[in-house]
């Protein structure tokens, strides 16, 4: 039996407010996608392309306009670029609103030393809606709210805790009825 070891890499997690227009690619933890490699073992970068549904996107934007950001996005810094890991709806809204987006940045470049460090003991304090699926692993952090139908087995209600109006709730549940326990 052959063993495959990941190379030892140094990275830290930092809290930052980023210019959303600096984030143009997504990190994918599957090098078979064919995008350019990164410093992150087993990952490549691909252009951000999958759009959130229209009514949900509008509801997220309105929520941020009304109440601000409740949670940071997750980004990796590699090769001088910021690569989105999680939070595409918030990133898209920040671009539309022209405002900085709060982020937890897994810094592989080592050039964010002036930013506040986030650790396994402090990450939760940066979230209003603390995700139950948040993992520190050998190459960084992974999280999800499990909102995508068929992509995750469990659904984390914290992922829709930002919905504060009936109109927003109706819009999101109309586009993603499984979040409300309906078929769709």
**Can you say whether residue 122 is alpha, beta or left, with left for phi > 0 and alpha for psi between -120 and 50 degrees?**
alpha
H-type helices in the chain, by residue range? 54-67, 88-97, 166-175
Q: For the chain, which residues make up each domain, given as ranges?
A: 12-180
Give residue-wise pLDDT tens across range 79-122: 999 999 988 888 999 999 999 999 999 999 999 999 999 999 99
User: Which pair of structure tokens corresponds to residue 83?
Assistant: 């690569």
> Does residue 4 register a pLDDT over 80?
no
Q: Which helix (H) or strand (E) holds 86?
A: strand 81-86
C-alpha span between 180 and 158 (Å, rounded)? 13
> Does residue 151 register a pLDDT over 70?
no
> Does residue 147 register a pLDDT over 80?
no
> Does residue 21 register a pLDDT over 70?
yes
Range 12-180: architecture per CATH: Alpha-Beta Complex (3.90)
Q: pTM, whole model, 2 decimals?
A: 0.77
C-alpha span between 10 and 139 (Å, rounded)? 9
How many CB atoms neighbour CB 65 within 10 A? 12
C-alpha span between 173 and 139 (Å, rounded)? 34
């Amino acid at each position: 039996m052959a063993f495959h070891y990941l190379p030892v890499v140094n990275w830290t997690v930092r809290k930052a407010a980023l210019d959303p227009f600096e984030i143009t690619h997504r990190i994918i933890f599957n090098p078979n996608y064919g995008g350019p490699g990164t410093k992150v073992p087993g990952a490549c970068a691909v252009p951000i392309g999958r759009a959130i549904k229209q009514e949900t996107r509008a509801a997220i934007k309105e929520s941020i306009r009304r109440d601000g950001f409740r949670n940071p996005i997750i980004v990796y810094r590699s090769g001088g670029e910021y690569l989105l890991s999680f939070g595409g709806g918030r990133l898209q809204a920040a671009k539309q609103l022209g405002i900085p987006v709060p982020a937890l940045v897994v810094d592989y470049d080592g050039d964010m030393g002036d930013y506040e460090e986030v650790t396994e003991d402090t990450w939760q304090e940066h979230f209003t809606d603390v995700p139950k699926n948040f993992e520190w692993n050998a190459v960084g952090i992974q999280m999800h709210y499990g909102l995508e139908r068929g992509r995750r087995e469990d659904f984390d209600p914290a992922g829709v805790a930002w919905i504060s109006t009936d109109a927003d709730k109706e819009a999101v549940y109309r586009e993603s009825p499984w979040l409300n326990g309906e078929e769709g």
